[in-house]
Structure formats: C-alpha cells, structure tokens
C-alpha cells in the first residue's frame, strides 16, 4: 500500500513529478526507487542519486548509453506496487474517476487504501495456524 501519493492530471507526464514523489511521505530515506521506462531520464536518475537512493529504472530500447548492469532482482519488486495499484482500482469510484475535484478523489483513494489495509490485517490475523494439543477429544469421566 502506498505511504503517500500525489495526484496529477490524467494527461500529465508522471516523469515530470518524479522529484515530488521522492520527497513526499514519511521521513524515511528509501534505499531504492522502482520505476518503469516512463521515468527513464537522466534528470530523474540524478535526482534519486542526490538523495542517496539507487534508481532501478530500466532504460528504453533506444537509449544511447545503456550500462551493462541493471538490478533485475530488485526491479521484480515493482510487481508489488503494480498489484497495489490494481487493488485500489478495484474500487469502482476510483477506476471510473467519478469524483470531480482532486480533493474528493484523493479522499476516496485514502479510504480505499484504508479498506485494503484493514482487510489485509484482518485476513492475516486469522491465518495463524491452530495449535494442536496431544490430548484426545474424549470425554473424561470423573469418579
């Protein structure tokens, strides 16, 4: 689930807001930032490195200078972020963007994240394995 989010217009490029995304949220310095090829820009990589964050952003196919190493194992963690966005978009009001103002839309995203968090905690609590006892299930007679 997201720790924080920043709303932009539907036609706006996410790449332009990359530095804002690095700055929002709690006062925790992440070790890495995962992004798709839409964030492939020298300015975005430098912004992450200035903050001491390793950028795990794949290079586009037409990139002039691709490095030999790319953290593929780290990048696989991006699937969790995409799954989180998918869970949020299961809420019809969010998927259809029914809200007209950014404030209301942000409120519904926060509400959806709260519901998802509560559900994940609720299901985790009830998945604790049962403790089996060595006492058989027989009635014990007292004499």
Residue 3 lies in a domain: no
Of residues 92 and 10, the one with the higher pLDDT is: 92
Phi, psi at 55, each rounded to 5°: -80, 120
pTM value is 0.70
Taking each helix axis from N to C terminus, what angle separates 102-125 and 78-88, rounded to the nearest 10 degrees? 110
Alpha carbons 126 and 124: distance in angstroms, whole number: 5
User: Is 45 inside a domain boundary?
Assistant: yes
Domains: count for the chain: 1
Q: Is 85 a member of any domain?
A: yes
Domain-embedded: residue 89: yes
Torsion of CA 84, 88, 89, 92, to 10 degrees: 160
Structural domain of residue 91, as residue ranges?
14-62+72-125
pLDDT in tens, 51-96: 999 999 988 888 787 887 888 888 888 888 889 889 999 999 898 8
Range from 19-28, 38-47, 115-124 that averages highest in pLDDT: 38-47
């Amino acid at each position: 689930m997201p720790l924080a989010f920043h709303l932009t217009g539907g036609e706006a490029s996410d790449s332009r807001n990359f530095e804002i995304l690095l700055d929002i949220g709690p006062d925790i310095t992440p070790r890495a930032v995962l992004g798709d090829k839409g964030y492939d820009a020298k300015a975005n990589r430098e912004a992450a490195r200035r903050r001491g964050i390793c950028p795990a952003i794949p290079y586009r196919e037409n990139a002039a200078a691709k490095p030999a190493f790319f953290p593929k194992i780290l990048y696989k963690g991006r699937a969790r972020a995409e799954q989180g966005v998918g869970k949020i978009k299961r809420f019809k009001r969010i998927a259809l963007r029914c809200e007209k103002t950014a404030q209301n839309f942000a409120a519904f995203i926060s509400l959806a994240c709260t519901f998802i968090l509560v559900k994940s905690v609720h299901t985790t609590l009830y998945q604790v394995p049962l403790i089996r006892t060595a006492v058989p299930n027989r009635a014990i007679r007292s004499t």
